Each structure stands twice: as structure tokens, then as C-alpha cells.
Amino acid sequence: MATIAIAAPHPAAIEAARQVTADGGGLIDAALAAAAALTVAYPHQCSIGGDLVALVRDGAHGTVRAVLSAGAAAAATDPAPLRAAGDRMPPGGPHTVTVPGVVAGWAELARLGARLPLARSLAPAIALADAGVPVSEGLARAIHHRLDVVRADPGLSALLLDKAGEPLSVGTTLLQPALAATLEELSDDWRHFYTGPTSRRLVAGLRERGSLLDAADFAGHRAENTAPLSTTTGNGVTWWAAPPPSQGASLLAVLGRGSDRLVAARQAELSRDALLGDPRSGGVDLDGLLLRAGRDITALPSGPRPAGDTVAVTAVDDEGNAVALIQSVFQSFGSGIADPATGVVLHSRGSAFSLDPAHPGALRPGARPPHTLCPALATAPGRVVALGCQGGRAQAWILSQVAEELLDAPDPKALLARPRWVIGSRDLNRPHPTLLLEPGTPDADHLTTVADRLGLEVARTAGPHDEAGHVQTARLRAGKTDAASDPRADGTAAILVSRVRR
């Protein structure tokens, strides 16, 4: 018998994980089942039409791998018409859809140690899409927040509005028969998403809307299995984060900064906006992203500042195996397109490209956009911590406010509930760079003083706020597992028992 601690932002994800572990599934099976269920229950924040970044630790060998399944722009991409229309990528629409990476990411995670066939991990999600899931408070808020986008798209309207054309309310059953059929098809062979009937339907629907993605773009997608970034602090803790095009370096840059965290976060934010891109498409200044180079970035072109919607699943078992997984549609309901033929909500990850050809994250044929997804792992003697969060561009500073304390915090849920701060501008619906404080944020007076020195405006929320992130964490400490889910989300955490040990 093995115990698995798992956290996710919706109870349906935990129930899906419970079902597969009862059938003998292990840590990775549990994480995959939870991730798949979230694409059904949380369509405003993730979808099989989005991307995935994950970190996976092999407890037996102490090794960590990064899985980056971030899709690329079309090979036929031509930035000129978009540059002629404005200085930024559009926030949504067909030109912001890159090849979705989630499904290939699931397959790569399964290859790294799943005990059960991928079809078994998808089964709870299929049942959930077919039978329906109650609309959560988070989903209802998102529908109201982006109601104009929902009404403008036939697929989203059919999915999220009632017969009278009004938004589905909390507790209403959300039925997704087309998505259930698509997931069933993928359970036969996940490659159908990239080379089979699912791919053909998605490509046809996208091209009808003006997208340049074609069958070859989908067929060419591969999940990247690579070495993560890491740093070891003086107390013997090693931190692991995903490499570019993920913003994982920004998290490593702000860890351990103590009272200087806000200063480091602002420096890391500016560096990321100026330096992050796809290493497959050109050079990326990793030392600059890690704030090691002392590079003057004031003269460099800045990247876009879009919002972000994301889910994190974290899991750790009593053998020290761990998964920190994040998948996303990038902003609520992504591109604002739900493909009726497949039931797939398509992400807007391409809106993170820069239209400045000198920028490392410039829109180029076949390039992957700069990525906000930022899962993390920490290892130390007798301890393994997995963590991740929703929070768009602010994920690095959100995680930095809880990461180090999570190594030894006696009550991780109370730590996640503690008020936090974030910085941003358009991603926080603010016209200027702003420090946003939840009520009761520790050291608020000091932070306000520092913000003034940095030229940041200061704003306060009325209470706990989605912009402060939905952190999920799972831990192994002194041989015992535990987990916690951020109270800002609709989620929960659990300790599961797998019947069969590897």
C-alpha cells in the first residue's frame, strides 16, 4: 500500500484521482486523472485545447525531469498583417491559437511512470463530461467576467448559456457530450489529437475561422522531456523549475530574497518581459532571467502583458515521487473559441508573442510563445514539496511568498490562506504597474514604501482575490504525506491509498 497526497482546484479532480488509485494506479495516474477531470470541470482555466508544463521526480533515483508540452505557431505564420493592425497581439481569436500541447503532455507523463493505461486515467473525465458536473463558483464568476466573449462565440454560448441565453448559475449541471466523445476517441489513441480524426476536425474548424494552423502543424507537435532549472540554497534545499519558454527562472530569481522580495520580483518581471522566448527559435539570456547578469534591460523591447488562467495539480507519495503539473487556456476561456465539433475550448497562448521582431519572444513561424506556466519542486533531507498555482504572469511571486515556508509549515492550508500581494498591470486590469495587496498582507507598510520607490501604484482588494493565485501543494515530510488547496479556489486536497506498490 502506498499513500499519495494530492491537491487540485476542484473536488472532481480529487475524486477522479481516487478512482484510479483504487484500481491500482500510482502517483502519475492520480495526477493524470485529476488533470483530465479539470479539463471538464474547469473549462475557463484549462482544456485539452491548451498547453501543459510539469515537473516529475523519481523518488528512487532522486532525479527530476521537466515536461514542456507547449505548442508552436503555424509554420505559415506571417506577422506582417498583425503588425499592421497594432503593436500587440490580439488578446483572443484564431490568431492566438497555437498547437495545443496538453494531450501530448499527458502521454509523456504517462511514459514517465504510469501504472495504468492512459485510457483508465481519462475514464473519470469522460464520465464527468457525459453525465455533467455542477457549475462551480469559479466557473460562474468567469462566465460573468467574460460574458461578451461567451456570447460572441457559438460554441461557448451553447456550452455556457441556458436556453434563455443567460449564464449558467452556480450548481447548474454543465453537460459536454461533444467533449466526452472526443475524450473517448483519445482514450483509444491519444495521437488522434495530432494525426487522427480529432485533429482533422480541430484544424477544419480553426481554418474556417481564419487560423493558419494546418494538419502538418498538429502532426509535428512533440512534448519536450528535458532537464529542469535548479538552484541549491545554503540550507541544503534544492529548488527545481521548468526552463524556457517557461518563466521558471523568474521563480528561482526571487526565492530567498526575504524583505527584498518585491524589489527582486519587479526586476524579474522586467527581465522576463524583455528576455523570455523560445530557445528553439533563438538565444535566450538565462543569466539575465535569473538576475545573475546585471544586464541593463531598459533599452530592450518589452513583451506583451496578457492575463492568465491556469490550474495546478500537485502530488507526492511516500516513496518521494512527485508531480507538479500546470495546464492552461491562458485567459478565461482562452481564445474565446469552443470548437462545436469536438467540444474543445482553444487556448490563447499565442497572445503572449511579441510583434517586435527584435524581441526573443517574437511571433515567428513554428515558434513557441513565452510561457507563464511555472510549476516547482523542492527537495531537502527528509522533505519533498510540489507546488504550483493559477496566477498568470504573477505565478513566480505568488509561489515565492509560500514556497520556503512550505518546507516546514505545520499547517500548509493556513499558510496558503494567508493574504498575499501581486504585481502587474494589464494582467491585473490596471493601466499602470501596480502592487495589489490583499487585506492583512504581512509587512504591507514596508511593501507600500518599496512600491513607491519602484514607481508602482498601490491598490488593495476588498478580500481574498483570484489575482493572488490558487496555490496547490503536496508534501512528504519525515515519512508522512500531506497536501493543501488554496481556499481562493474551489478545490480540495486528499490522502489517497494505492493498492499496488510498484
Are 329 and 92 spatial neighbours (Cβ–Cβ below 8 Å)? no
Question: Could you tell me which of 304, 301, 247, 252 has the C-alpha nearest to residue 274?
Answer: 301
Are 53 and 242 spatial neighbours (Cβ–Cβ below 8 Å)? yes
Beta-carbon contacts of residue 153 (< 8 Å; ≥ 6 apart):
336, 337, 338
Judging by beta carbons within 10 Å of its beta carbon (0-12, 13-18, 19+), is residue 340 exposed, middle or buried? Answer: middle
Are 140 and 169 spatial neighbours (Cβ–Cβ below 8 Å)? yes
DSSP assignment of 348-401, as one string? -GGGGSBS-TTSTTB--TTPPPPB----EEEEETTEEEEEEEE-GGGHHHHHHT
Terminal CA-CA length for the chain: 10
The letter for the amino acid at 459 is A
Judging by beta carbons within 10 Å of its beta carbon (0-12, 13-18, 19+), is residue 195 exposed, middle or buried? Answer: middle
Q: How far apart are CA 127 and CA 121, in angstroms?
A: 11
311 in the Ramachandran plot: left (φ > 0), alpha (ψ -120 to 50) or beta? Answer: beta
Q: How far is CA 121 from the centre of its chain?
A: 20
C-alpha distances out from residue 383 to 176, 421, 479, Å: 41, 27, 8
Which residues does the annotation mark as catalytic?
310
Are 293 and 304 spatial neighbours (Cβ–Cβ below 8 Å)? no
Q: How far apart are CA 82 and CA 26, in angstroms?
A: 46
Return the H-helix or E-strand segment holding 239.
Answer: strand 238-241
Q: Which three cell numbers stand for residue 206?
A: 480553426
Are 104 and 221 spatial neighbours (Cβ–Cβ below 8 Å)? yes
Are 144 and 97 spatial neighbours (Cβ–Cβ below 8 Å)? no
Question: Could you tell me which of 85, 96, 26 has the C-alpha nearest to residue 330?
Answer: 96
- For the four alpha carbons of 318, 322, 327 and 330, in that order, the dihedral sign comes to positive
Question: Could you tell me which of 251, 282, 225 has the C-alpha nearest to residue 68?
Answer: 225
